[in-house]
Structure 1
Amino acid sequence: MPNLTEILDAASRADKQAEQALTEWENSNFAELALGLVTELATEGKPSHLRSLAAIHLKNMLNAKDTQLQAAKHQRWKTLDAGARNAVKEPLLASFRSPEPKIAHYAAVAASEIAAVELPFNEWPQFLPTLLEYCSSGASTETIKIASIECLGFTAERASDLSDLTDAQDIPDPAIDSMLTAIVGGIQAGSAEPIRLAATTALRNALVFCNKNFDKKPERDAIMSAVCDATRSPDARVRTAAFDCLAQIAFLYYNHLQDYMTTVFELTVTAIKGDEEPVAKNAIEFWNTICDVEQERLDEAAEYAESGQQIPADRRCVEYAKAALGQLAPLLLETLTKQDEDADEDSYNLHMAGTVCLGLISQTVEDAIVAPIMPFVTQNIQSQDWRMRDAAIMAFQCILDGPATSTISPAVSQSIPALLQAISDPHPMVRDTTAHCISQICKLHVHSIPNEMFPQLLQQLMDKCGDPSAKVASQACSAIHNLASAFQDEATEFQQTNALSAYMNQLLQVLWKVCDREDSIESNLRVSAMEAIAILVQVSAADQKALLVQLLPAVMERLGHALNMQVTGKEDTENKEQLQGLLCALFQVLYQKLDKGDVGLVTDQVMTMLLTVLQAQNSSCHEEAFSAISAIADLLEEDFVKYMDALKPFLIAGLKSFASYRLCMVAVAAVGDICRAIEHRIQPYCDEIMTVLVDSLKDVSINRSVKPPVISCFGDIALAIGGAYEPYLQLSAMMLMQASNTQAPEDDEDLIEYVNVLRQAILEAYTGIVQGLKGGQKLQLFMPYVSSIVQFLQQLAGDPNRDDGVLKAAVALVGDIAQAMGTEAAVKSQIGQPFVGQMLQAASASPSEGTRELAIWALQVVQTVCASS
């Protein structure tokens, strides 16, 4: 047997050979290595860092992030005989008694991994009695008690993590009760503060399993009493953990809070007022959680009201946030004055916590937020103290998302002059906050900006794009982006001019300068500037076409430089790829706005550049390159075919990017766009494309988001090549029928939404195939599949979770089948079934105008077919 101590010692120094030796040992003799590691851990006198490493490695032998690998590791442990497992578990529990706290802690970590596997199956009967004895015995040291309580919490945490595994089972209720008794006992005031800290943290991990305990008032009272007492601990770490527990309780057991809210409210207010920052932040987090839960419930209530139903009692919102608003608002406003000038952008301090909470409360209570906040804003927006000015503007920004525009509009309108003054404030934090506030106004309430202020607003934003602070400049670019976005609804090919036309050239010049700043990679500055350019192109009116034509070679020149950038490390590579992606996105919007005649002389060069972008391995900008290629195909139509031979290998590689599912989806979308552009000319490339598409549907590891666009792409290909789709019909129809069997549980909203998207794609694919075969005079090939399709339609007709997109696609398919094949007796009998008429009638009452129009057409077609002899 190799010398494990020596191997661990080498592995602790990141010795690759030692790490490889451990991996090979694990694969060749798992039981021997597990026993060796636990022996190393349990042997007093061995170096503590190696003992800790042994425990970590033992834990990792059962732990994996990937669910399939995790299941395989668990199965490997379970296949060991009971004797081999016990030989590991007994010394592991004994290691809790180590006088070294570090060793006891890592023993708890490793033991929890095994317990999470075995407890749900009523295995390891010694685990809980041993830990409960450790917790309660007067002979146990503080180290033993802490490790035991930690282990109980870690076990609950890991069991929760493992709940997604296919064979997962919950920890039995009696075991949960025993764990909870020990944990809550450790929280109570008689325990030493380090034990209370471990127990409070453990309770946070175990709460997810406490449904039945919270349903029983005595047990609920005991838990809440212990947690509330812990918020008064003399140890700030315990108080912080206790408020973290309360936030988790609010998330999991909102319906049980009512009896305790008066006490919890007082505790949070006291902490926010004057406790140490970590404690105050977690007290604020309790209210953040309340707001998250209440927003979800209020949204549900609105959905029920729309359908004329009453929300179930256990889903009602008690409106705690609104009730607490009067007393919480002043406390949160006070936190906004606690700015830290040296804080990193990503730091989450008390000021940021107050900002987040005020925004969440605004979204929850909506119009009610205005009255308690606006006096603070008006009194301090022009204060002599920069902190008060900044806090006032931040408070105003926080409440922009929540109230109706009609409610907040007067305040927005009146604030613009002060904000235009504040955006040039001497203090950079005030300028940054102001630019962000203006950006949010442009995003949420742009029509509340007085028309006469528009020129001054735009000029100020352009000036601030040159601000010495990258943060301020980035916010100014975002504000321009949001302001331009307001013109999207008006941006049509027939719009001759708009309010931006007079400023378009200057705006583009300013934003290009931003891209060339030396600090353009800071604060997302270059991204903000490029995205602003892109939206300006999108919303530009017809009188700016000449400017866009001039912009195209400028983008080409910049992409040429970007392709030749020299990189010396990972950061340089990421910046290069980001820049290439942003420039590809500009190609996309330019080709969407320009005419074929505007781009004829440069498109060969543009395509060469885009293919060069696609040549880079593992590049993050491939998605933008494919999107640009889609736009070019859409504009050139049949003329795009000349690029297909050069594009094909990159397109196939993109379709094969199963691991990079977003890239795969963009490549699939590009296939659809190219099919619509070059139509039957796509046929020579279809064998390879269809093979990869089918492979992606067969791959069980691929992200499920890929499957709907792949399925929809079958229809795009069939529509493009018509009768030439015959070789692919049988296999694609089989894949569609398999996909149509996908079901979603009633209580899984995410899966219900996914199944609706999948079904819409299936219906659209069938529609494309019907239309394609009809155009190719080969509809008879589709006849064998009509019966199963109608069965699928009947299933959809009776599905209460069917959304309007599915209904619209189903109606379109019924209409197309009736119109194309209705003369066939077998088809006529199928579409003449009562459920078809009922589904079409339901669609004719849809709130969507497009669905209603389609339903009226389909009804007429079906009625005509059924009435014919």
Structure 2
Amino acid sequence: MSTPDLTTTLLSCQSPDPTVRTQAEAALASAEQNNLADFFVALANELSAEGKDLTVRQLAGLHFKNLLVAKDEAIQAEKHNKWKALPTEKRAVIKSTVIGAIRSPVQIARHTAAQACAEIATIELPFKEWPEFLTTLMENVTGSANDDGIKISSLECLGFTCERIALSLDAPEIAPDVTDLMLTTIVDGIQADRPDPIRFAAATALRNSLAFTRKNFENENERNMIMKTICEATQSSDAKVRGAAYECISQIAFQYYDKLQSYMQTLFELTFATIRSDEESVALNAIEFWSTLAEEEMELIDMALEFQETGQPVPPEQTCVGYVKAALGLLCPLLMETLTKQDEDADVDDDVWNLSMSGATCLTLVANTVEDDIVPAVMPFVQEHIKSENWRYREAATMAFSSILEGPGADAIGPYVNQSIPVLLAALSDQNDLVKDTTAWTIGRICDLHVRSIPEETFPTLVNGLAGKLLNETPRVSSQACFGIHNLAAAFSNDNTAETAGTNALTTYMPQLLQTLLQVVDRSDASESNLRICAFEAISVLIQNSAPDVKHVLLQLLPAIIDRLAQSFNMPVLTNEDKEQKEGVQGLLCGLIQVIATKTTKEDIMQHCDLIMTNFLQVLQSKNATCHEEALSACSSIASSLEGDFVKYMGALQPFLMNGLRNFEAYQVCTVAVGLVGDISRAIEGAMQPFCDEIMSALIEALQNSALHRSVKPPVLSCFGDIAMAIGASYEPYLQLSLMMLLQAAQTQAPDDDDDLIDYVNMLREGILEAYTGIIQGLKDGNRTELLLPYIDAIMSFLEMVQKTRKNDYDNEVLSKAVGLIGDIASSLGVHVKTQINQPYVMQLLQEGHATGDVAIIETCQWANSVVGQILAC
């Protein structure tokens, strides 16, 4: 593409005319496909051309950057590989041109060139390519003759590069000489005699570089120099520089906790002075240092407990020094002082972070770190000020109390919780909205964390107090009241007495609460402060934890919910916000129908199911809807309730089910659709057969799709077993291909040091074992187990691998399912598998199952042992 054409095309991409814009975007895509190297050259020339239209230069630089960047890891790798495949001489020309543009006299051109350069450096620096990059930037920063703007853009480029490399998961470790040169350049820019804009750019770059400078931090002299430079920057006259310096300090606390000891006294003094008296933006970053420190110490304390359980000593670099506990006496009063600096005009929906919010968050983390020790440090302040005449102190005391509820144990905090309920219930009627809001939030936290400490005699007052704040308060206060009711209802989730007694403490209040919460949903301001969603969620949890004696209330509620879902299709949609609200309401209503279905019987809901499914299908007809996941999930509950009678809906549901199974981009929807296939298979059994060709095809596509989120694949494998169990001998057409997929999945292994991958392989193996079990049982029911004989050796090899590669932290579910599969193979194939069953690893798996001490696993082992014993005795 020639330069004049490129100029015109880049400008046309900004055209308000969609036709012009589409044609221009197609032209750029064509240039990229036809000759990528020349296209990069043309964009670099456009970016670096002084005197050109500034908009064109910026667009060229941004398009250059976007040719190398993608959010998706696979696409990102593909773009990087295309760059690496360009001829070396062409790359050299492009790099020279782009890095030269950092010296442009035009600020926007310099800034855009810095972004484009950083993307190239992200690809090449980890492989020690482009040595000119750092030497050029260092010359730009340290050269006395260079304009300050050039120095700033060069430091920005370093910062962008460090940030991008830190995010690159598969990049090699940066060579020490590269990090040395980076740090030398950055530290030069942050020196006290540099202008503030240069210091700010350097401090930002330093924060981004800290992820891969451990070698430098291991060197005491270098570490001292870096820390001295950062601490000096906290004293800059410019707030942006001070704030960036504290960001560096927080990052150091995160990355290099084990190196802090020599600097803690200084950091203590600096951060405390800043929190007390500096501008809010800087004070927030100083508080963040203590939040980060608390998070690190929490993690180290947890790790120490793990080492203790295994009898291992704690490595020195992973020892918790206890800085937070040591500072508690001075830190807590300082944080509680920040709680009194509320912004009464702040809109909670704007999510604006302020000093009191930051202080409360930090206090919560401190409480979780020091646990019981937080109580004597905070409760005197709470008791002194919770009834203060000054609303700021009343709210601060209440927030302080809510902030420490999670850390200490019930013995330490429980008595205060017990005493607080009457005070908090009275405060729900406070004159100040912020006090009421925080009070409702605190009650919700108590219901969540310390419900057993609530005096039984105050339960009616508590429920009625929260219910009384649902309709006539501001959305934020009502939302917190919903939160409190939600948590109060959730406290009954493990109430085993409800089924035997037929009732629980919620029963008396259920009709009133459900009716009032539905009125909340209809409030004209329900879209504010997440109120509508909070109300729906409270209704859902109330229903889930309701006792049998309120079933009649739920059956009265069901037609009203169905009607609301039907009415939702008439909601006007004029904006994207309207569309999101409509789909959100539909999803929540589907969820309510789902939970009611789980609390009732087939006979209870049968008469409503035609209308329910008609509405679900209408929800599923909407394009690009966010509520498909909820509608499909709700269909699962109806299928489970109706069992074989659900088949009447399959013809209409099948197209939407297939859309869900093939919705690989929205993998959560795909996962729910896979689960629905399993539920329907169990419900309608053999009647599933006519629908299986399409379904199995979609499941195979899912397994073969490399871009599909890996979490979907274990349930897909398990689904093979559900289908086979349902259709028995009719599974034969799918047997060979599904077993091949299972054998391929069985090869997946996890390295010992990758916990995430270990967990994934664990789930994958559960899915494989469930699939094998279902297929064997299905073919056994259909009297076609001989079809499995050619595959038995491969299945047994998988069981052997499971036994040999099991790790101590593997879920017992894998072991349980492996033992169950052994029993199924033995009972289904008998003497045909005598040789395969008579192997040491089989006996080892059975012994390991017995050794778990888990009653259910032991019972499975005993059954499998008896079946295996019978075969071996033949």
- Identify the range of structure 1 (354-363 vs 660-669) with the bigger mean alpha-carbon deviation: 354-363
Change (3 A) 1:301 1:544: same
Tell me, yes or no, if structure 1 residue 591 matches structure 2 residue 594: no
Cα shift readout 1:513-538 (whole Å, capped 9, x = no counterpart): 11111111111111111111111112
Alpha-carbon separation, structure 2, partners of 1:806 and 1:310: 31
Q: Secondary structure at the match of 1:273?
A: helix
Change (3 A) 1:835 1:43: same
In the TM superposition, what is the alpha-carbon distance from 1:242 to its structure 2 partner?
Answer: 1.0
> 1:159·1:170 contact (CA, 8 Å) conserved in 2?
no
> 1:12·1:50 contact (CA, 8 Å) conserved in 2?
no
In the TM superposition, what is the alpha-carbon distance from 1:150 to its structure 2 partner?
Answer: 1.9
> 2:3·2:46 contact (CA, 8 Å) conserved in 1?
no
Which residue number corresponds to residue 214 of structure 2?
Answer: 211
Alpha-carbon separation, structure 2, partners of 1:467 and 1:246: 46
Which residue number corresponds to residue 673 of structure 2?
Answer: 667
What is the aligned counterpart of 2:99 among 86, 93, 102?
A: 93
- Identify the range of structure 1 (177-186 vs 213-222) with the bigger mean alpha-carbon deviation: 213-222
Please show how residues 135-174 of structure 1 align to structure 2 within 5 Å: 135-164=141-170, 168-174=171-177
Alpha-carbon separation, structure 2, partners of 1:685 and 1:136: 71
Change (3 A) 1:105 1:265: same
Alpha-carbon separation, structure 2, partners of 1:297 and 1:62: 38
What one-letter code is carried by the residue in structure 1 that aligns with 2:822? V
> 2:217·2:223 contact (CA, 8 Å) conserved in 1?
yes
Which residue number corresponds to residue 806 of structure 1?
Answer: 814
Please show how residues 300-315 of structure 1 align to structure 2 within 5 Å: 300-315=303-318
In the TM superposition, what is the alpha-carbon distance from 1:425 to its structure 2 partner?
Answer: 0.7
Which residue number corresponds to residue 787 of structure 2?
Answer: 781
Please show how residues 402-421 of structure 1 align to structure 2 within 5 Å: 402-421=407-426
What is the aligned counterpart of 1:381 among 386, 394, 415?
A: 386
In the TM superposition, what is the alpha-carbon distance from 1:704 to its structure 2 partner?
Answer: 0.6
> 2:3·2:42 contact (CA, 8 Å) conserved in 1?
no
- Identify the range of structure 1 (493-502 vs 660-669) with the bigger mean alpha-carbon deviation: 493-502
Alpha-carbon separation, structure 2, partners of 1:246 and 1:630: 51
Please show how residues 264-275 of structure 1 align to structure 2 within 5 Å: 264-275=267-278
> 1:400·1:440 contact (CA, 8 Å) conserved in 2?
yes
Compute the TM-score of the two structures, normalised by the length of structure 2.
0.95
Please show how residues 179-578 of structure 1 align to structure 2 within 5 Å: 179-345=182-348, 346-490=351-495, 493-578=499-584
In the TM superposition, what is the alpha-carbon distance from 1:84 to its structure 2 partner?
Answer: 2.4
What is the aligned counterpart of 2:702 among 671, 682, 696?
A: 696
Q: Secondary structure at the match of 1:565?
A: coil
> 1:135·1:145 contact (CA, 8 Å) conserved in 2?
yes
> 2:163·2:208 contact (CA, 8 Å) conserved in 1?
yes
What one-letter code is carried by the residue in structure 1 that aligns with 2:274? A
Cα shift readout 1:673-706 (whole Å, capped 9, x = no counterpart): 1111111211111111111111100000101111
Cα shift readout 1:508-560 (whole Å, capped 9, x = no counterpart): 11111111111111111111111111111122222212111111111111111
What is the aligned counterpart of 1:643 among 644, 649, 664?
A: 649
Alpha-carbon separation, structure 2, partners of 1:208 and 1:644: 54
What one-letter code is carried by the residue in structure 2 that aligns with 1:420? L
Alpha-carbon separation, structure 2, partners of 1:805 and 1:9: 59
Alpha-carbon separation, structure 2, partners of 1:172 and 1:657: 42
Unmatched 5+ stretches in structure 1 = none
Alpha-carbon separation, structure 2, partners of 1:850 and 1:257: 49
Number of matched pairs: 863
Unmatched 5+ stretches in structure 2 = none
Cα shift readout 1:337-360 (whole Å, capped 9, x = no counterpart): 111112132111111111111111
> 1:12·1:53 contact (CA, 8 Å) conserved in 2?
no
Which residue number corresponds to residue 768 of structure 1?
Answer: 774
Alpha-carbon separation, structure 1, partners of 2:499 and 2:727: 30
In the TM superposition, what is the alpha-carbon distance from 1:583 to its structure 2 partner?
Answer: 0.8
In the TM superposition, what is the alpha-carbon distance from 1:243 to its structure 2 partner?
Answer: 1.0
- Identify the range of structure 1 (260-269 vs 5-14) with the bigger mean alpha-carbon deviation: 5-14
Cα shift readout 1:65-93 (whole Å, capped 9, x = no counterpart): 23333233333333332332232222333
Alpha-carbon separation, structure 2, partners of 1:855 and 1:302: 33
Change (3 A) 1:325 1:841: farther
Alpha-carbon separation, structure 1, partners of 2:760 and 2:56: 48
Alpha-carbon separation, structure 2, partners of 1:5 and 1:645: 55
RMSD: 2.0
What one-letter code is carried by the residue in structure 1 that aligns with 2:255? L
Alpha-carbon separation, structure 1, partners of 2:393 and 2:404: 17
Q: Secondary structure at the match of 1:602?
A: helix
What one-letter code is carried by the residue in structure 2 that aligns with 1:553? P
> 2:186·2:202 contact (CA, 8 Å) conserved in 1?
yes
Q: Secondary structure at the match of 2:346?
A: coil
What one-letter code is carried by the residue in structure 2 that aligns with 1:297? L
What one-letter code is carried by the residue in structure 1 that aligns with 2:797? Q
- Identify the range of structure 1 (845-854 vs 125-134) with the bigger mean alpha-carbon deviation: 845-854
Cα shift readout 1:139-186 (whole Å, capped 9, x = no counterpart): 22222222222222222222223334xxx4343321221111111222
Alpha-carbon separation, structure 2, partners of 1:379 and 1:474: 28
What one-letter code is carried by the residue in structure 2 that aligns with 1:740? A
Change (3 A) 1:85 1:741: same
Alpha-carbon separation, structure 2, partners of 1:41 and 1:654: 44
Which residue number corresponds to residue 45 of structure 1?
Answer: 51
- Identify the range of structure 1 (521-530 vs 804-813) with the bigger mean alpha-carbon deviation: 804-813
Alpha-carbon separation, structure 1, partners of 2:622 and 2:709: 23
What is the aligned counterpart of 1:682 among 676, 679, 688?
A: 688
Please show how residues 45-124 of structure 1 align to structure 2 within 5 Å: 45-124=51-130
Change (3 A) 1:733 1:157: same
Q: Secondary structure at the match of 2:852?
A: coil
What one-letter code is carried by the residue in structure 2 that aligns with 1:303? E
% identical aligned pairs = 53
Alpha-carbon separation, structure 1, partners of 2:858 and 2:324: 41
- Identify the range of structure 1 (450-459 vs 401-410) with the bigger mean alpha-carbon deviation: 401-410
In the TM superposition, what is the alpha-carbon distance from 1:454 to its structure 2 partner?
Answer: 0.3
What is the aligned counterpart of 2:827 among 808, 819, 838?
A: 819
Change (3 A) 1:815 1:320: farther
Alpha-carbon separation, structure 1, partners of 2:217 and 2:319: 18
> 1:796·1:802 contact (CA, 8 Å) conserved in 2?
no
In the TM superposition, what is the alpha-carbon distance from 1:736 to its structure 2 partner?
Answer: 0.9
What one-letter code is carried by the residue in structure 2 that aligns with 1:358? L
Q: Secondary structure at the match of 1:189?
A: coil
> 2:47·2:101 contact (CA, 8 Å) conserved in 1?
yes
Alpha-carbon separation, structure 2, partners of 1:372 and 1:689: 61
